[in-house]
Amino acid sequence: MRITKSELEAVAVKPAQYPEANRYEIAFAGRSNVGKSSLLNLLTGRKALARVSGSPGKTRTINFYLVNDDFRIVDLPGYGYAKLSRSETEKWGAMMEAYLSKRPGLLKVVQLVDIRHEPSAQDVQMYDYLRYYGLDGVVVATKADKISKNQQQKSIRQIRQKLNMKKEDAVIPVSALKRTGQEELLDVIESILNK
Ligand code: GTP
Ligand code: MG
């Protein structure tokens, strides 16, 4: 699949602000600073569809992007940013719960983890949560350019183990910097949409 058109359709902090549930949706989740916005820009071939930031925690809203006038990519707010207060963390949890628990058309949540680090306790928790809702099965290992091919294979095994992934589940190494891995991810997205 190629993405030829993408546009920001809605920015939401609560369900009343979501676009009408008339499309399939693939959402992206991950720790703050993991490279989510960079990946969305890579997938859509746009330089600044999603804002890339040096300071983590920039994306505090749920952003809905309409893709190819067909389906939506949904950018979920990052977690694990150390400086969030307790009430902000609670707000984050409620926002995620509201979206993930009952969004018609939501097919899958792609979980992002940094290829350089073993998945954190929060990554594991997030993935368990996705499993609970039947939205698990696709993980992207970001910033693959930072380590060698050999190390990548090791990391992927570690990610599979730590997240307790099934054999048929996918871990896709991607580099937004080197522009690698996006085709494989788009193929996976296409097969999810066509199921
Ligand atoms: P928040 O929205 O702030 O939570 O972050 P995010 O997950 O959207 O990450 P973002 O795309 O803003 O990237 C965070 C930092 O990682 C930026 O400095 C990016 O340039 C860098 N980065 C993202 N992807 C890659 C990659 O594939 N390789 C390398 N080397 N750096 C990357
Ligand atoms: Mg972001």
ipTM associated with this complex: 0.98
Per-residue pLDDT of 42-72, as tens digits, reads 999 877 776 665 555 555 889 999 999 999 9
| Closest C-alpha to 52, from 143, 144, 156 | 143
Report which of 114, 126, 189 is spatially closest to residue 163, judged by C-alpha positions: 126
Which atom of ligand 1 lies at the shortest distance from residue 112's CA?
7
Question: CA dist 72 to 5, 20, 75, Å?
Answer: 11, 11, 10
Burial of 166 (0-12, 13-18, 19+ CB in 10 A): exposed
Ligand 2 centre from 76 Cα, in Å? 9
Q: What percent of the chain shows pLDDT beyond 70?
A: 92
Q: How many angstroms separate the alpha carbon of residue 40 from the centre of ligand 1?
A: 10
- Beta-strand runs (E) in the chain: 6-12, 25-30, 62-67, 71-75, 106-114, 138-142, 170-173
What is the distance in A from the centroid of ligand 2 to the CA of 33? 7
pLDDT value of position 59? 56
Domain ranges of the chain: 6-193
Can you give the pTM of this predicted structure?
0.94
* pLDDT at residue number 146: 98
**What sign for the dihedral angle of Cα 142, 190, 14, 134?**
negative
Q: Are strands 170-173 and 138-142 parallel, antiparallel or unpaired?
A: parallel
Calpha distance 53→130 (Å, rounded): 26
- pLDDT 10s digits, 63-106: 999 999 999 999 999 888 667 778 888 888 999 999 999 999 99
Residue nearest to atom 5 of ligand 1 (CA): 33
| Rounded (10°) angle between helices 36-44 and 182-193 | 80
Q: Which ligand is nearest to the CA of 41?
A: 1
Instruction: Give the pLDDT confidence of 1-49 residue by residue, as tens digits.
Output: 999 999 999 999 999 999 999 999 999 999 988 999 899 999 998 777 7
Looking at residue 60, its pLDDT comes to: 82
Picking from 30-34, 80-84, 107-111, 140-144, which range would have the lowest pLDDT averaged per residue? Answer: 80-84
Site to substitute for ligand 1 among 32, 33, 179, most atoms within 8 A of C-beta: 33
The correct CATH number of 6-193 out of 2.40.30.170, 3.40.50.800, 3.40.605.10, 3.40.50.300 is: 3.40.50.300
Question: Is there an atom of ligand 1 within 6 Å of 134 CB?
Answer: no
Ligand 1 neighbour 177 (Cβ under 6 A): yes
CA of 67 to the centre of ligand 2 (A): 18
